[in-house]
Amino acid sequence: MLEIAVFLCGAVVMVIELTGSRILAPYLGTSLVVWTSLIGVILASLSIGYWWGGRLADRRPEARLLARIILISAFATAFVVMIKTFVLGFLQAQSGGLHLTVVSATLLLFAPPSILIGMVSPFAVRLKLQDTRTSGRTAGNLYAISTVGSISGTFLAGFALIPVLGSTNILLLMAAVLVVASLLVERSHTSIKIVTGTVFLILLFLALGYDKKMAAEGFVDVDTPYNRVLVFNGKEKSTGRVVRIMSTGPHAWQSAMYMDDPSELVLPYTRFYRLAKYFAPDMQRLLVLGGGGYSFPKYVLENYVTVHVDVVELDPGITALARDHFGLRDHPRLNIIEEDARTFLNRNVEKYGVILCDTFNSHYAVPFHLTTVETMQRIKASMPPGGVVLINLLSAIEGDRGRFFRALFSTCASTFPRVMAFAVNNPDDPFLWQNIIIAAFVSEAEPLVPSPDLDIAAMLANRLEPPVDSDIPLLTDEFAPVDRYVFSAW
């Protein structure tokens, strides 16, 4: 029974770590900073637990004490559910910088249960130790069992629990599992432990019921294989129209849809994608990297009746939400490819008149491997001589807050003979954090001609002067510090 308890505790700690990324995501994103903090803090917490558990086990090698430690860890895990919204909301409102905020949040939420669970393995070794001649084998066996449990918990969380249950529900389930582990170690106060485990399970079922109720009212909080996604309704300030919103990170809408017209473009940057037809009026094939709520693909299918659209979206959960809540329907001119955009580009042999890159729509999680010279070379190889790629990003234009824009512009310019940029909101404020559209052309010819469309003319008027800074190196697969460029602006 002790070995089973060690296995369960090893599994729980990894489930907590992976689930922690989903708990932090709506407030702090899913960037390298978040993962670094989670891994580092939990490893440090486990180390403290190993040290503390070993010392305590030498003084009081009692199964009853170990069972109590595991039971307390169950309460500490469930307590995260109670305080996570307050802690993350409070820390997000402070001005301590992302690195300090993420480390503080991880320490407050996940260090206590991790320390307590870390105490289990050395304590179990002391309880099993009967002959010093086999002490190495005893310790090795128990730590191996704990590690196998951690491996199992990793795959269980990533492949099954997170996409199905959601973060709050998983923590309550893990608390119940820890109660079971406590019972396996020592069966005193059995009735109390059974009641405690039952309470955690009841809370789990209540939470599941609450999720269903909120979904029925239009608010969806779901963990997909790659993201934590919020879907909810709001009103557009300027018009009062009801809008359905998709968000995968803090301070940003990844997609939006008018409830009274699902194909109309809501977000200003998506309207700039209409430059695709202006720059490539004979466009027949369009490639969109990043599906989200499929706003522009739906617009194309509705308004450009000869254009075939391929959409590369890594996350099948995002596509499912687009089908359920954003009016995405099967269409003979729409092809959805569930794959990483870079992987698709690496093997692609088709030619697209226009490529839209809509994968940089959050300042908390930028996929660096899609910003590099090597990616731009693959994009260029996927277009005919008259092709154009439109890239949406969030950045300022100048100063430290504009380093991502300048780096990406220079990277595009190293591959394409002509590159332009357009500010979505205000081209006259170089330090404003805003959406910027980079347009890179396979042909060297000047593509700009007067447009009778007033909306297109207004977009073209937002053209930016090419950046002149040469202090920022090109982004490559070997070195692309986009996280540093983005986070230094916050």
Which pLDDT band holds residue 417 (cuts at 50, 70, 90)? very high
Which pLDDT band holds residue 416 (cuts at 50, 70, 90)? very high
Question: What per-residue confidence (pLDDT) applies to 362?
Answer: 61
The alpha carbon of 230 is separated from its chain's Cα centroid by a whole number of angstroms, namely 12
pLDDT at 114 over 90: yes
pLDDT at 239 over 90: no
Question: What per-residue confidence (pLDDT) applies to 168?
Answer: 83
Question: What per-residue confidence (pLDDT) applies to 197?
Answer: 75
pLDDT at 52 over 80: yes
Q: What is the spatial order of strands in the sheet that 418-423 belongs to? A: 334-337, 308-312, 285-289, 354-360, 388-395, 434-441, 418-423
Which pLDDT band holds residue 372 (cuts at 50, 70, 90)? very high
pLDDT at 252 over 80: no
Question: What per-residue confidence (pLDDT) applies to 223?
Answer: 80
Q: What is the mean pLDDT of the chain?
A: 86
pLDDT at 422 over 90: yes
pTM exceeds 0.75: yes
Nearest Cα to 390, choosing from 438, 345, 422? Answer: 438
Question: What per-residue confidence (pLDDT) applies to 91?
Answer: 82
Among 101-110, 113-122, 227-236, 391-400, which stretch is predicted with the lowest mean pLDDT? 227-236
* pLDDT (tens digit per residue) in 132-173: 666 787 788 888 888 898 899 888 888 888 877 878 888 888
pLDDT at 286 over 70: yes
Question: What per-residue confidence (pLDDT) applies to 285?
Answer: 94
pLDDT at 390 over 90: yes
The angle subtended at Cα 175 by Cα 208 and Cα 148, nearest 5°, is: 110
Q: What mean pLDDT is predicted for residues 316-337?
A: 91
Question: What per-residue confidence (pLDDT) applies to 43?
Answer: 93
Q: What mean pLDDT is predicted for residues 323-330?
A: 90
Q: What mean pLDDT is predicted for residues 188-199?
A: 76
The alpha carbon of 346 is separated from its chain's Cα centroid by a whole number of angstroms, namely 23
Q: pLDDT higher for 25 or 258? A: 258
Question: What per-residue confidence (pLDDT) applies to 193?
Answer: 73
Among 140-154, 210-224, 286-300, 375-389, which stretch is predicted with the lowest mean pLDDT? 210-224
Q: What 3 state SS string does the chain have? A: CHHHHHHHHHHHHHHHHHHHHHHHHHHHCCCHHHHHHHHHHHHHHHHHHHHHHHHHHHHCCCHHHHHHHHHHHHHHHHHHHHHHHHHHHHHHCCCCCHHHHHHHHHHHHHHHHHHHHHCHHHHHHHHHCCCHHHHHHHHHHHHHHHHHHHHHHHHHHHHHHHHHCCHHHHHHHHHHHHHHHHHHHCCCCHHHHHHHHHHHHHHHHHHHHHHHHHHHCCCEEEECCCCEEEEEEEECCCCCCEEEEEECCCCCCCEEEECCECCCCCCHHHHHCCHHHHHCCCCCEEEEECCCCCHHHHHHHHHCCCCEEEEECCCHHHHHHHHHHCCCCCCCCEEEECCCHHHHHHHCCCCCCEEEEEEECCCCCCCHHHCCHHHHHHHHHCCCCCCEEEEEEEECCCCHHHHHHHHHHHHHHCCCCEEEEEECCCCCCCCCCEEEEEEEECCCCCCCCCCCCHHHHHHHCCECCCCCCCCCCCCCCCCCCHHHHHHCCC
Question: What per-residue confidence (pLDDT) applies to 449?
Answer: 72
Which pLDDT band holds residue 117 (cuts at 50, 70, 90)? very high
* pLDDT (tens digit per residue) in 56-70: 888 888 888 898 899
pLDDT at 334 over 90: yes
What percentage of residues in the chain have a pLDDT greater than 70? 92
Which pLDDT band holds residue 250 (cuts at 50, 70, 90)? low
Which pLDDT band holds residue 430 (cuts at 50, 70, 90)? confident
Q: Tokens at residue 165, please?
A: 């249950």
Which pLDDT band holds residue 217 (cuts at 50, 70, 90)? low
pLDDT at 307 over 90: yes
Which pLDDT band holds residue 303 (cuts at 50, 70, 90)? very high
